[in-house]
Structure 1
Amino acid sequence: MSQTIQEKRVSREQASYFIGKAVTTTNEAEMKGEGVISGQWASYYQDGVFERIPNKKHAGTLAIYTDYQSGETGPYTFALGAEVSAVEEVPQGMKAYSIPASDYVVFTTRTGPVQEIVVEAWQYIWEWSKTNKRAFKTDFELYDDRCADPDNSQVDIYISVK
């Protein structure tokens, strides 16, 4: 296995808006195989969620982690969708979120099978979190044109920091 994280940098991101389908889960449930994230991805593609989102700013999918109730151990909201320029028009079954301006550390995964590289990156981030201060505002994963081939993908994960 090659190095999980190829790059790490701090990036100041401006506030933005997001529309997508949301569920609540915990890291414990996800790691025990009782989670909802994989099912959320399946319905995202089956239901054509991305195609139904109005006012998209770019062609990338965002996976956001927000509404943290108690850091990485408690429930949080996981949503799949897109960054948008306006949230006045939200399709049925979807929610709009404001992603606050924040400082982020950006973790770039190795290139590989998407399910593998994202899990590896989060394991790395959880270790990194033991010695760094996460803000637990809104974190997100960017799935852009580097993810066209699910067996040969690369993802950026933005972690909000204090």
Structure 2
Amino acid sequence: MIGSSCIGASVIGGICNNSGGSLVQRGPAYTEMSLFARIDEQGKLQLVNHLGIDLGHTPEQILSKLDDERIKDEDVRHDGRHAHDHDYVTRVRDINADTPARYNADPDRLFESSGCAGKLAVFAVRLDTFAAEKNQQVFLYRHQSARGTD
């Protein structure tokens, strides 16, 4: 099964499964920038570079440059594609919404490697990073039944 090695407890596995969602700012694992292999409409294996990084033109050049870590600042493009779910923070805080903030196989969160669930072989992804929150608080809500305990 192509891509089965990508599913697991890893960053790429998280992207493939849209895992997470507990981090309000970042949301579930999502990116529009990845390097992956797929079977095209003609049944041919195709390497797709949507990382936004110039890695060359042939599969050998692309994988070699990525593997050798020969990426320069000028190779990286910032073209407006998203490296996290930008709408999540608003959706998850909308307590009056008629729809859930997050659910499996949300079509708005499926994009190439994001949510591919093993249908692609994913080699690399680009994700946003965030500074640690300075003023964190933990709340514990507890409810005691009106009935007594037996």
TM-score if structure 2 supplies the norm length?
0.26
Report 1 or 2 for greater relative contact order, CA contacts < 8 Å, sequence distance ≥ 6.
2
Larger radius of gyration: 2
